[in-house]
Chain A
Amino acid sequence: MLNDSKLMSELLNELARLEESETKNDESLLGQRHGGLAIVGGQLLMKKPERGGKWPTISAAKGSRVKIFYRGKQIDRSLVLEDIDDIKFEVMQDPAQSSFEIVVSQDKMEVWLVTKFAPGVEYQVCDSDYTTNLVVTAKEVAQHPPQPVDPALVLQQLESLGVKIELYNNQIRSACYGLESGKWMIGVGIPPKPPVDGRVDVVCDLTGRQMQEEQGGRVDLLDRGKISSVEPGEVLAYWHPPVEGEAGINVFGATVKPRPPKRARLSAGSGVRLMEDGTVAVAEIAGRPCWDRGRLCVRPELIIPSDVDVSSGNIEFIGDVIVMGDVKDSLVVKAGGMVEVRGNVYNARIIAGGNVVIHRNLICGHVSVGGDIGNYMKAITLIKQIIPELKNLQKAFQQLQGHPRFSVEDLKIRGDGYLIKLILEMRFAEIPKLFARLQQLAPEQKDPKQDDEINNIWAVVNHISNCFKGANPLSIRSISEVDVYLKGLGEVCEWMEDVVSTPADIQVSYCQNAQLEATGDIVITGPLVYGCTMFAGADINIAGSCRGGTYCATSNIKVKSAGLNERVKTILAVGDEGSVMAGTLNPGVYVAIGQRKKVIGEIRRNVRLKFEEGRWIDKAGSGVF
């Protein structure tokens, strides 16, 4: 600021000199007839004009620090002077500045000292030679440093403002005596301790699915990964309750309350239960965890709003699945619960733990519910044949061990497997064959799409089967290992029986060239079934006709019309206690009840076939069939 005014003053002086030199030129032109004004040592001098000459004028340079008074009145334009006695000059001075201000921050937690220091500047009127038009200017002649601020005044003002905190006295002193303008913090309050907001940590996956990369970076576009799901009892989220903050004190000594913490409460929706005083959210049911209007829920069903196709990928979900559209070619829908398809299923695979309902057509697909019932039933039959045979083998071995004419000394070197293999070959040659058939039912490789439990079951089956294949019995060190295998086979059989005995049904409108396996009933509501293979743990009910294919039910088969002619092979098979009911049985239909088989030679109507007391009986007709 000071420098600016100094510069301005120098510019004005320069301007005045230029005007003066012009005037001199005029004078030189007009001779010495004109009057003139001069300033010498701050005093105004005047030379009156000769006859015919001009009277001199006086004015203050524009923006200069000089004020000119004529007869006590300030003039603001050029004035023609007759006499200088009535003229007075006044030069404006810049006094030195020392001031301060106390500023308190908006939150009243900080107090600041704002100081302003400026040196004083002294000006006086510039001298000038005689000139007709005198422009009066002023120039800087001296500077005076500012005075320091008295700290006592600062403290006094702080007290009068009501500031009651401990002050930074050193800072105040240096600000006061430093003669530098600035803003200095001279005290702070005690800020409140902020609260800890409540928060919810979700520990289950709510993001949906993640595509998994195969070896070599390949991605199976149909395999989008499992849809996130939880089991009952699984922890979904933890709630960390909020912690209140602590109060602080502002610069005026007043209490400053901390902000209230955010609660972020954990709310349970359907399928979720809060435990441990509401701090732990646990799934009550199996399903898909999700947020619903701020509440954590577990939805037991997954609704696919359109088709299951390449855009959706395979569907794998622990609960129920409802497909509003079709299930397209090569896709897999796997559900722990039931599956409902509102449209068609085309050459796709449906695997469900519960019932499956397909509202429209099933073409070339494979539907299995409740488990791989076909294979399980076959495996159960084989295991039930193997177990008594293995027990007989074990018994023979033990009898030989205790036989007075049989030595077992060599087995200490060779191992019990040598004798086991001999007995297997000589007496129980069926056992390795049964194991080979059992092993054929097991998948060759671990199926990544299957549950670990199922994979483990088949791994046990494979391991035990291998032990009795070829030369492998030689590696059995002790007959007690057979006990372990017997126990393992028993558990496998029990597990499969559990699966098979849990009824899960399939209901389809129409099906063609499809494979259906259900632990419960298979119901076809439409007018035709063509070329299908069905295994039902309970009944098969076909409202219309079935032409071609194999239909096996543990209990009963009921069909409006079966077969067409001898060239269309249609097999209807039920268990020993089961029956086959048909409105029409066409020639060539192959009927099996337990181990008894019969081929229909001529068309039969309204029959209910059973096999009782060693003969075929038509319960609906004449009796003997």
Chain B
Amino acid sequence: MGYFSVLKVMITQGPPNVIFALKGELDLTTSRILRKEVEKIELDKVASITFSLNELKFIDSTGIGQLIGYYRSFAKQHTSVYIDNKNADIEEVLELIGVREIMET
């Protein structure tokens, strides 16, 4: 967490339905790692993007904001964005903020 945060982003499934598996901490310091990985994909070949948070240990408001940002920007290009999460603690965070009001599993 904080200055020693680590995030590993793996693409577990390729286009058209891309799945990014996030492991570690998604916060202010690691958000750029996710951004670089997302920027690599070719959107014209992608129908949906799923972020798997099952192995995520921590998230902060920057991380949440980044996921919401992707949801909004890809929605304009008719690409669906989902969150796959079986981690109850992280799910509680998502619900508290209200992410689940717009982003489905």
Which A residues are closer than 8 A to B by beta carbons? 396, 399-400, 403-411, 413-414, 418-419, 422-423, 425-428
Contact = CB atoms under 8 A, between A and B. Distances in A.
Identify whether the interface residues of A are mostly helix, strand, loop, or mixed. Answer: helix
B104 interface: no
A404 B28 contact: no
The 8 closest A-B pairs by CB, nearest first: A426-B98, A427-B98, A410-B28, A407-B60, A405-B89, A419-B61, A410-B62, A410-B60
Nearest to B92: A403
Contact of A409 (B28, B64, B89, B93): B28
A422 B97 contact: yes
12 contacts: A400-B96, A404-B89, A405-B56, A405-B90, A407-B2, A407-B25, A407-B60, A409-B28, A410-B28, A410-B61, A422-B65, A423-B96
Interface residues of B, number: 26
Contact of A400 (B1, B56, B97): B97
Interface in B53-105: 56-62, 64-65, 68, 87, 89-90, 92-93, 96-99, 101-102
A407 B27 contact: yes
Contacts of A404: 89
Contacts of B102: 426
Contacts of A405: 56-59, 87, 89-90, 92-93
Contacts of B93: 400, 403, 405-406
Nearest to A406: B93
Interface of B: 1-2, 25, 27-28, 56-62, 64-65, 68, 87, 89-90, 92-93, 96-99, 101-102
B59 A426 contact: no
B69 to A, nearest CB: 11
A422 B96 contact: no
A399 B97 CA distance: 10
A410 B96 contact: no
Contacts of B98: 396, 422-423, 425-428
A427 B92 CA distance: 13
A515 to B, nearest CB: 41
Given A422-B68, A426-B98, 4 more contacts: A406-B58, A410-B27, A410-B62, A418-B62
A405 B56 CA distance: 9
Contacts of A403: 89, 92-93, 96
A423 B28 contact: no
A411 B89 contact: no
A422 B101 contact: no
Contacts of A399: 96
B65 A407 contact: no
A112 B97 CA distance: 108
Nearest to B53: A405
A419 B63 CA distance: 11
Contact of A422 (B27, B28, B56, B61): B61
A427 B102 CA distance: 9
A25 B91 CA distance: 162
